Amino acid sequence: MKKVLSVMISLLFVLIASNGAFAKNFNLKFSTMSSKKDPWGQQVLRIAKAVEKNTNGSVKVTPYMSSKLGAELDVIKQVARGRIDMGGFALAGASSIIPELALLGTPFMFDSNQQYDCVLDNHLAPLFEEMFRKKGLKLIAYSETGTYSTFSTKPIRTPADVKSWKLRINQSKFSVLMWQSVGANPVPLPFSEFHAAIQTGMVNGGDLTPTFYVFMGFPKLAPYLTLTEHSRQPGFILMSLKAWNRFSSAQQKQFMDSQEPISGLRKQIRGLDTMMAAKYEKAGGPVHHLTPEERQQWEDAVIPQQQKIVEMVGGQSERVWAMIQDGKASCKK
């Protein structure tokens, strides 16, 4: 009888432990280049609050805003190595670890947001999740950065207007290729150096989402906004596999249940991009909407370079490219 009772008690302890009753406590560092005031920083704060609530306080997330833990390209390496627990990353940062991701931001690739969402969610997501895993990263959730447009200290309408023009771009060789294809002089710089670069004349403009453009005060430095809408930019919330694997199975489920549906954030960010551009224009800001003829000039200059981007990426880029094309064919515009 004593032996049976002992076995039953042991089984009970195993059951309780598996459900997280004896799970360890964790305080995770979350790095982001966003601030508390912007939509992405607000998202991080909401996630941190939800995680603490859903795990009954056993997992806490401490956000480090405004790149306090370092520049994005450095931080993502630290997360992969387990030295920083997790972070939110734009496409430029994530593609420094998984180069094939850069294909998502290929200029003038997708015909609509709906087509882009369908291809990413239904055709590419499982492959990218596995790619991250092999790099020591757990893909917690997709985020949304918005769609890049162009701004400058002078009006821009067609590719001819950026000939030899110095434009700050993210630190990606694929962005370099795009702007070189239209005759510009691209200058890769960390985002933290962007303001100073315009103020000193090092660059004459760059590309960002309208939301970032307005939030970060760029209209005062480079007032001409042209809605080229040339590159859709996903975001990624990533965790070190070392941190993830320390969770109990219950904590892992609770953590994932704390994430927000990507559809809501996409709607918010895209709506915000539209609102910010309209608000700036209504206030007298020089906002230019491309005519169909002008857009065709941009596409004619850039689209022929898409295959070069695939070749530059290497790795599984041919496979990813084919999956994108297949996805586009099956997804509505």
pLDDT of residue 86: 98
Cα separation, 51 vs 91, whole angstroms: 25
Q: What is the pLDDT of residue 17?
A: 45
Cβ–Cβ under 8 Å, residues 63 and 41: yes
Instruction: Check: CB of residue 148 under 8 Å from CB of residue 230.
Output: yes
3-state secondary structure of 37: coil
> What are 169's two structure tokens?
């771009």
10 Å Cβ neighbour count for 193?
14
Give the pLDDT score at 10. Answer: 47
pLDDT tens figures, 103-149: 999 999 999 999 999 999 999 999 999 999 999 999 999 999 999 99
Which pairs from 184-192 meet CB under 8 Å and 24+ separation? Answer: 190/71, 190/72, 190/73, 191/33, 191/67, 191/72, 192/33, 192/67, 192/71
Taking the C-alpha atoms of residue 192 and residue 36, their distance in angstroms, rounded to an integer, is 16
Q: What is the pLDDT of residue 124?
A: 96
What are 98-114's pLDDT values in tens digits?
999 999 999 999 999 99
Residue-wise DSSP of 264-311 = HHHHHHHHHHHHHHHHHHHTT--EEEPPHHHHHHHHHHHGGGHHHHHH
- 240: which strand partners? 137
Report d(CA 48, CA 143) in Å as an integer.
15
Beta bridge partners, 287, equal: 225
List, for the chain, all residue ranges whose pLDDT scores fall below the cut of 70. Answer: 1-23, 333
Answer for the pair 285, 164: CB distance below 8 angstroms, yes or no. no
Q: What domains are there in the chain, each with its CATH number? A: 25-330 (3.40.190.170)
Q: Where are the beta strands (DSSP E) in the chain?
A: 26-31, 59-64, 86-90, 137-152, 166-169, 185-188, 205-208, 224-240, 287-289
